[in-house]
Amino acid sequence: MFTLAPMNPSSTHAYDRARTTPRALATEAVHAGRDDLARQGLHAPPIDLSTTYPSYDSRGEAARIDAFAADGALPEGTPVYGRLGNPTVARFETALARLEGTESAVAFASGMAALSAVLLARASTGLRHVVAVRPLYGCSDHLLTAGLLGSEVTWVDPAGIADALRPDTGLVLVESPANPTLAELDLRAIAHACGSVPLLADNTFATPVLQRPVEHGARLVLHSATKYLGGHGDVMAGVVACDEEFAGRLRQVRFATGGVLHPLAGYLLLRGLATLPVRVRAASATAAELARRLAADPRVARVHYPRIGGAMVAFEVHGDPHEVIAGVRLVTPAVSLGSVDTLIQHPASISHRIVAEPDRHGAGVSDRLLRMSVGLEDVEDLWGDLDGALGTDRRSRRSVSAPGPSRTADGRPLVSRPGGR
Any idea which residues carry the catalytic annotation?
Answer: 83, 137, 202, 227
The residue among 232, 223, 168 whose CA lies nearest residue 201 is 223
Which residues partner with 372 through β-bridges? 313, 344
* Spatial separation of the C-alpha atoms in residues 224 and 265, rounded to whole Å: 13
Alpha carbon 27 to its chain centroid, in Å, reads: 20
Sign of CA dihedral 360, 362, 368, 372: negative
Residue type, 10: S
Edge to edge, the sheet with strand 312-317 lists 300-304, 312-317, 369-373, 343-345, 332-333
Alpha carbon 359 to its chain centroid, in Å, reads: 22
Angle subtended by helix axes 263-274 and 276-295, to nearest 10: 70
* Spatial separation of the C-alpha atoms in residues 98 and 54, rounded to whole Å: 31
Residues in the chain: 421
